[in-house]
Amino acid sequence: MTPRRNARATVRPARAGRPTRGRRRALGQHFLRDEGIARRIVELLRPGLSDLVVEIGPGEGALTGHLAASAGRLVALEVDPGLAARLRERFAGTPHVEILEADAIRHDYAALPGLRPDPAGRVLVVGNLPYSVGTAILASLLTAGPAIARVAPMEMALMLQREVAERVAAAPGSRTYGSLSVLSQMAAEVRVAFSVSPGAFRPPPQVDSAVIHLRALPAPPVAVADPGGFRTVVLAAFSQRRKTLANALASGLRLPVGRLKDVLAATGIDPARRAETLSLAEFARLAEALPGA
Ligand code: SAM
């Protein structure tokens, strides 16, 4: 899965001082006010003294204090310079806590295993992600995840808009299963841990949220020789959800529908099925049968 670099994912250069209301909205600044929810998020990962915790978007620090209390080392990435400065002040006397003014979409996550306080420790990522760039941040983490998981166990507890969280974790055959589900589940085991209502935040967002728990996989659950080709086939298959698989692929890959029907028949997949019914293994078989797609 590669990070989305669309207009919504773009974070404008940070400016000093208190951000305007528009910028606060663009940065998804809905701060968690429910202590119980903060504890439940941290409880999902149970950080210990051997673990590195990376917090994405610490904001006013609703989760940061809980994480700092148990993690061996905590690195927090906050794009808003004012919030980062305030947290730096708060944790000035806490050497195992580092607050970085950084854009979590573009951060170099590959270096994380080397920052663990103990080589036996885990890499844990926690965040109440800003809605506007939540999937872009998730994509960056999942792109780095497999290489990290080959060196250290990596788990994440991430709060997202509920609809997005459900799409990430959806199983084949469900209404919400799509390319985000397939590409995420090639990089991590995912489950929705719990939902959170707007009243838990100030200001309250207009949508519900949910926390997902992910375990990064060192290798995809099904082998694919060409990850780029696999991604192209998955995106094409879901490009027109109401069409049959053969028609959606023909239009998405710009190939004759007759050829797609032959390829699908050869891989044992009914061309009349819809993309949302295919398992990861079936997508892998299909991608193998369409080299250079
Ligand atoms: N963790 C805090 C909480 O739960 O109250 C704040 C969560 S708030 C939904 C999202 C936070 O992410 C804000 O502090 C915002 O400034 C920050 N943020 C937005 N875009 C970011 C980015 N690209 N990289 C790092 N932080 C970002």
Does residue 248 share a domain with residue 183?
A: no
Look at residue 35 and tell me whether its pLDDT is greater than 90. yes
* pLDDT band per the 50, 70, 90 thresholds, residue 241: confident
Does residue 134 share a domain with residue 108?
A: yes
Does residue 245 share a domain with residue 192?
A: no
3-state SS of 101-136?
A: ECCCCCCCHHHHHHHCCCCCCCEEEEEECCHHHHHH
Distance (Å, rounded) from C-alpha 103 to C-alpha 120?
Answer: 28
Q: Decide: 32 in ligand 1 pocket, CB within 6 A.
A: yes
Look at residue 8 and tell me whether its pLDDT is greater than 80. no
Does residue 192 share a domain with residue 91?
A: yes
Question: Does 9 fall in a domain?
Answer: no
Question: 272 C-alpha to center of ligand 1: Å?
Answer: 43
Question: Does 253 fall in a domain?
Answer: yes
Say if strands 209-216 and 154-161 run parallel, antiparallel, or are unpaired. Answer: antiparallel
Q: Decide: 133 in ligand 1 pocket, CB within 6 A.
A: yes
Q: Decide: 27 in ligand 1 pocket, CB within 6 A.
A: yes
Does residue 254 share a domain with residue 209?
A: no
Q: End of a domain among 184, 216, 248? A: 216
CA-proximal residue: ligand 1, atom 23 (nearest): 103
* Three-class secondary structure of residue 225 per DSSP: coil
Look at residue 33 and tell me whether its pLDDT is greater than 70. yes
Does residue 256 share a domain with residue 205?
A: no
We report the CATH number of the domain holding residue 245 as 1.10.8.100
| pTM given for the model | 0.91
Question: Does 236 fall in a domain?
Answer: yes
Q: What tokens were used for 49? A: 């003294």
Beta bridge partners of 100: 77
We report the CATH number of the domain holding residue 146 as 3.40.50.150
Q: What tokens were used for 55? A: 């917090």
The phi and psi torsions of 258 (rounded to 5 degrees) equal -60, -40
Q: Decide: 62 in ligand 1 pocket, CB within 6 A.
A: yes
| Domain with 271 in it | 227-289
Look at residue 170 and tell me whether its pLDDT is greater than 60. yes
**Alpha helix stretches (DSSP H) within 20-76:** 21-26, 35-45, 64-70
Question: 158 C-alpha to center of ligand 1: Å?
Answer: 12
* pLDDT band per the 50, 70, 90 thresholds, residue 5: very low
Q: What is the pLDDT of residues 249-260, one digit of tens each?
A: 999 999 999 999
Question: 135 C-alpha to center of ligand 1: Å?
Answer: 13
Question: Does 164 fall in a domain?
Answer: yes
Q: End of a domain among 169, 188, 216? A: 216
* Three-class secondary structure of residue 229 per DSSP: helix
Q: Decide: 103 in ligand 1 pocket, CB within 6 A.
A: yes
Q: What tokens were used for 234? A: 């998955």
Q: Decide: 58 in ligand 1 pocket, CB within 6 A.
A: yes
Number of domains making up the chain: 2
Q: Decide: 37 in ligand 1 pocket, CB within 6 A.
A: no
Question: 191 C-alpha to center of ligand 1: Å?
Answer: 22
* pLDDT band per the 50, 70, 90 thresholds, residue 7: very low
Does residue 263 share a domain with residue 203?
A: no
Does residue 88 share a domain with residue 123?
A: yes
Sequence-distant (≥ 6) Cβ neighbours of residue 123 within 8 angstroms: 51, 52, 54, 112, 113, 116, 148, 152, 153, 154, 155
Does residue 145 share a domain with residue 207?
A: yes
CA-proximal residue: ligand 1, atom 6 (nearest): 59
Q: Which residue has the higher pLDDT, 8 or 223?
A: 223
Q: What is the reported pLDDT for 17? A: 59
Question: Does 11 fall in a domain?
Answer: no
Q: What is the reported pLDDT for 19? A: 67
Q: Decide: 63 in ligand 1 pocket, CB within 6 A.
A: yes
Q: Give the dihedral sign, CA 161/163/167/169.
A: positive
Which among 131, 85, 137, 86 has a CA at the least distance from the CA of 107?
137
Look at residue 3 and tell me whether its pLDDT is greater than 50. no
Q: What is the reported pLDDT for 38? A: 98
Q: What is the DSSP letter of 290?
A: S
Q: Decide: 282 in ligand 1 pocket, CB within 6 A.
A: no
* pLDDT band per the 50, 70, 90 thresholds, residue 2: very low
Question: Does 173 fall in a domain?
Answer: yes
Question: 290 C-alpha to center of ligand 1: Å?
Answer: 41
Q: What is the DSSP letter of 94?
A: -
CA-proximal residue: ligand 1, atom 5 (nearest): 31
* Nearest ligand 1 atom to alpha carbon 29: 8
Q: Mean pLDDT over residues 185-191, rounded?
A: 98
Q: What is the pLDDT of residues 98-152, one digit of tens each?
A: 999 999 999 999 999 999 999 999 999 999 999 999 999 999 999 999 999 999 9
Look at residue 178 and tell me whether its pLDDT is greater than 60. yes
Q: What is the reported pLDDT for 9? A: 37
Q: End of a domain among 172, 191, 216? A: 216
Q: What is the pLDDT of residues 43-81, one digit of tens each?
A: 999 999 999 999 999 999 999 999 999 999 999 999 999
Does residue 250 share a domain with residue 139?
A: no
Which among 192, 236, 232, 189 has a CA at the least distance from the CA of 212?
192
Q: What is the DSSP letter of 208?
A: -
Does residue 196 share a domain with residue 90?
A: yes
Question: Does 15 fall in a domain?
Answer: no
Q: What is the pLDDT of residues 192-219, one digit of tens each?
A: 999 999 999 999 999 999 999 999 999 9
Does residue 232 share a domain with residue 187?
A: no
Question: 104 C-alpha to center of ligand 1: Å?
Answer: 9
Q: What is the pLDDT of residues 83-98, one digit of tens each?
A: 999 999 999 999 999 9
Question: Does 282 fall in a domain?
Answer: yes
